[in-house]
Structure 1
Amino acid sequence: MQTRTGSGAHARGRFPSRRKARVRSCILLLCAAASVLSGCSSPVAIQRMDPQGGQSVLSPCDRAVADARTYDRRTADPWFASAAGARLQEPAAAAQAWHEVAIACPARFGEAVNRSALAWMTANRRARAGGASALMPADPQALTLQALQELPSAARLLGPTQLAQAARAEDRAGFSLIVLAGRRQSGGTTLLAVGDRHHAAAQSLASADPAGDPRQAVYSSKDLLQHPDSMTDPSNGLEAPTESVVEMNCARGLIQAFQGFVTTAAKEGMEAEDEGGAQGRPGAPGLADGKQPGSRNPVHEQRQALGTLALMATAHAYTALDEGYPALPQALLQEVPNS
């Protein structure tokens, strides 16, 4: 009897421990669930740490893409799309953010140009639909004129092959639009103006390397004469207004021509950034940005040139969309990944 009594007392003493263990388990489960529902996670799990500074590291390209994606999500969000100011501000901000991606991410130059043009077009359409003339975002002509003003400085940094390819693409587009203008009963004046801007761009590019001027002035017009109103884009099989196909092909030509410079500039920029970081450390000679006092900054010049080249290609893609080219990201430019 004493043994049974002792066993019962021992068992009763053990039960509270089990209950406490179960309570602790429940509390831990609830805490874990609350953490998941709150969307929070351990900082250690989501940050890459700089071994020298002990701070999280995110490359300029990663930061630019993250910003652009954020603005894209806000643009598509029904709440932002219905808000009076945000419905125009968010796509305009997305266009600027993707422009920054084109500068910071050489591998995504074509995609960024495309998405920037799409975002500009979204802002433009929303402004037109809402009659918000005072808040009208930049139109294709404004972007083109800005790029034209900056193009001579950017062209000085391009190689002969890049200049020749870009000048030929612009010259061909200008010729094509002038041919189409002559076939139109209405809208010809607008096409002539756009064609003149293409020829102005071709002139700026060719002037940077007069010995290698590739412009032919006259190109084959067979397809244009057969399809003056609409045609099939040979790059993707889409049917679109002929002038919009001309613009989109010019944008593709510029992206292909500039890709080599984009890659080289990005590589040199990263190397300069590494050197600048080393010189900015205590005891290192020179300035924190890698320059000596009074010296020119080639990295800054390259960045400005990248911005101009991206803006010119974006302006042509934006013009194509404004002229009725289908706003399909995967088909807009050949360089765009399916994402």
Structure 2
Amino acid sequence: MPTRPHLLYAHRARHSRLAAALSCLLAVCMLAGCAAPRIAGRAESEQRLSPCESAVEAASAGTERAMSADSPITMRYVAAKQAQHDWLDVAVQCPLRFAEGTMRSAQMQYRTQQLARVLGANSKTLTVTRLDSVASVPIGGDALAQAALADDRAGFATEVLAGRFVSGVARDARTTPLAEDGTLLAMSENHKQAASQMMQLSNGARDLRQKLYGTDELLAHSANVTDPVNGLRANTVAVVEMSCAREEMQAIAQSTRTMELPDDANAVQQAQQGLLQLSLLAATHAYTAFNLGYPSSDYAVFAADDE
């Protein structure tokens, strides 16, 4: 069958245009210099995230899902439950973000329990009240002494409050049951024991604990008190716990900024485990404060960072 002249012309014209385009592209490459061929795997290795970056990325994404009103409640619960662990990973892996990782883990622990109650689920908390299993920590002795002071002061305050509520001198819907069933005294003992354990881990640092502290505020405002950090009025025990959490995190964070991990893999693992327990201890104080009515929102818990 003979080829139609106009089809043959169109076919030849398309080839001519393609050849011209290729010629132009070759000329541009010769003048400007085309990029070198890509080496397989190079871009991937250059973009590989550090352990700290990976932890922050995972924790931030999980928190966003946990707080999203557009997600089903089951998905929010699962996200919050994972995020509470991921933020602890941030506290351990990121020397400059210990305090943030610890506090955000406490927020996600509280969020997890809120959602669990709605779902009727039984979710175990991550709380740690003592350092019984810790053999060493990669934290300076002076920082541990400061953290021990915070825990010892909280132990004294909760003991004083327990006495006032048990004796009936003070009454409050949140605090009274804690005093009557012995919870408040148990909290006091745990604070004091944690402080003692920190000093044992401090390698002979100067002990700053005073054992006895001022009681004016506790006696005058046993039920509710104003947090001097942000001006919020909240349950007195909650403010005691939040103040302890803040002081511990600040003391430890000062040390983690210059922290040097050992070279031995086993020693590194032991050091990170110790740091994790310190993070959990401070997060437990903050989580306890949330349960007693202290606001868990950023405006309340990160107020000191904005000053």
Give TM class, smaller chain.
0.7 to 0.9
- Does residue 144 of structure 1 match 2:102? no
Q: Which runs of 4+ in 1 moved over 6 A?
A: none
1:177-205 deviation per Cα after TM superposition (whole angstroms, max 9, x unaligned)? 01111121422122111111101101111
For 1:242, the aligned partner's letter is: T
Shift of 1:161: 1.0
For 1:144, the aligned partner's letter is: V
- The 1:198/1:160 distance shift into structure 2, 3 A limit, reads same
Partners of 1:201 and 1:248 in 2: how far apart?
A: 16
**Cα pair 1:114 1:329 within 8 Å, conserved:** no
Of the three residues 64, 73, 77, the one matched with 1:82 is 73
Aligned twin of 1:227: 221
Of the three residues 217, 231, 240, the one matched with 1:246 is 240
**Cα pair 1:127 1:137 within 8 Å, conserved:** no
Of the three residues 101, 110, 135, the one matched with 1:121 is 110
Secondary structure of 2:136's aligned partner? helix
**Cα pair 2:97 2:253 within 8 Å, conserved:** no
Of the three residues 177, 185, 193, the one matched with 2:158 is 177
**Cα pair 1:74 1:80 within 8 Å, conserved:** yes
RMSD of the alignment, in Å? 2.9
- The 1:317/1:50 distance shift into structure 2, 3 A limit, reads farther
Shift of 1:235: 0.5
**Cα pair 2:139 2:256 within 8 Å, conserved:** no
Of the three residues 281, 296, 299, the one matched with 1:327 is 296
For 1:173, the aligned partner's letter is: A
Unaligned runs of 5+ in 1: 1-12, 21-48, 273-289
Aligned twin of 1:287: none
Shift of 1:158: 3.2
* Structure-1-length-normalised TM-score: 0.69
Secondary structure of 2:234's aligned partner? strand
Aligned twin of 2:53: 62
- The 1:245/1:50 distance shift into structure 2, 3 A limit, reads farther
**Cα pair 2:80 2:109 within 8 Å, conserved:** yes
**Cα pair 1:330 1:337 within 8 Å, conserved:** no
**Cα pair 2:155 2:190 within 8 Å, conserved:** yes
Partners of 1:77 and 1:103 in 2: how far apart?
A: 26
Counting matched residue pairs gives 261
Aligned twin of 1:159: 140
Secondary structure of 1:315's aligned partner? helix
Secondary structure of 1:144's aligned partner? coil
Partners of 1:80 and 1:336 in 2: how far apart?
A: 30
1:276-335 deviation per Cα after TM superposition (whole angstroms, max 9, x unaligned)? xxxxxxxxxxxxxx65xxxx6432232222211111111111111111101121321456
Of the three residues 178, 189, 201, the one matched with 2:194 is 201
- The 1:310/1:97 distance shift into structure 2, 3 A limit, reads same
Aligned twin of 1:27: none
- Does residue 317 of structure 1 match 2:286? yes
Unaligned runs of 5+ in 2: 1-9, 18-40, 169-175
**Cα pair 2:146 2:248 within 8 Å, conserved:** yes
Secondary structure of 2:212's aligned partner? coil
Structure with the bigger RCO (C-alpha within 8 Å, sep 6+) is: 2
Higher helix share: 1
Shift of 1:164: 1.4
**Cα pair 1:75 1:81 within 8 Å, conserved:** no
- Does residue 301 of structure 1 match 2:270? yes
**Cα pair 1:110 1:333 within 8 Å, conserved:** no
Partners of 1:261 and 1:306 in 2: how far apart?
A: 11
1:154-185 deviation per Cα after TM superposition (whole angstroms, max 9, x unaligned)? 35x43331121111111000000011111214
Shift of 1:118: 0.7
